[in-house]
A and B are shown apart, each in its own frame.
Chain A
Amino acid sequence: GENVEQHPSTLSVQEGDSAVIKCTYSDSASNYFPWYKQELGKGPQLIIDIRSNVGEKKDQRIAVTLNKTAKHFSLHITETQPEDSAVYFCAANFNTDKLIFGTGTRLQVFP
């Protein structure tokens, strides 16, 4: 079936620490894996994505890793800041016509 599991559901870290969010997907044919950040009162916004032809991608303090064999991918945020506090969603594509989203991780960064 079409399924994306995401863990943890909540994550609290101290400012400056790293945060890691993990997702697994069910369809071995999936080849596009975006991550979205949703702040209060706003729609989700893409922060980074990765395609199946690479294993890792980095953009400043944010990185994503992909393990196609194990069908899991992870978001890494280093040197966290209070403005990183938000809900983060992973997603994977299915059947070339849609994205299925994970259940979300509420990240809180304490100063």
Chain B
Amino acid sequence: ETGVTQTPRHLVMGMTNKKSLKCEQHLGHNAMYWYKQSAKKPLELMFVYNFKEQTENNSVPSRFSPECPNSSHLFLHLHTLQPEDSALYLCASSQDPASDEQFFGPGTRLTVL
């Protein structure tokens, strides 16, 4: 048990749907992250939040919209996705953004039809 939970574990959506991924950490960490994992780019950083403030947006298309209402919760809102967005989306948290162990959730397997 890593202390980082993600829901749902699997999601199938059409290109016109709107859905949200949820991440919750029970570790008291200050930083949270979204990563995209696919065959082409195994662990691609998308967003970084530190103390609820977004500190990194790695050129992610606007059809992905993150939200961090508090330091324990992180959302990824999805709308008008493309089939190439199908991937495993991983959430992680750490005490410090770049010098401490990141704890990963199990991921959400997203399929866009």
Chain A residues engaging chain B, CB cutoff 8 angstroms: 31-32, 34, 36, 41-46, 49, 51, 87, 89, 91, 93-101, 103-104
Contacts and interface: CB of A to CB of B under 8 A. Distances in A.
Given A43-B4, A43-B107, A45-B2, A98 B101 contact: no
B2 A94 contact: no
A34 B101 contact: yes
Contacts, number: 60
A94 B98 contact: yes
Interface stretch (B12-20, B43-51, B60-68, B74-82): B43-51
A98 B2 contact: no
Contact of B43 (A42, A49, A89, A93): A89
B92 A97 contact: no
B56 A103 contact: no
Contacts of A98: 33, 45, 48, 56, 97-98
Nearest to B107: A43
A37 B45 CA distance: 17
A44 B99 contact: no
A49 B41 CA distance: 22
Contact of A101 (B42, B97, B101): B42
A91 B97 CA distance: 13
Contacts of A101: 42-43, 45
Interface in B72-104: 90, 92, 97-99, 101-104
B43 A44 contact: yes
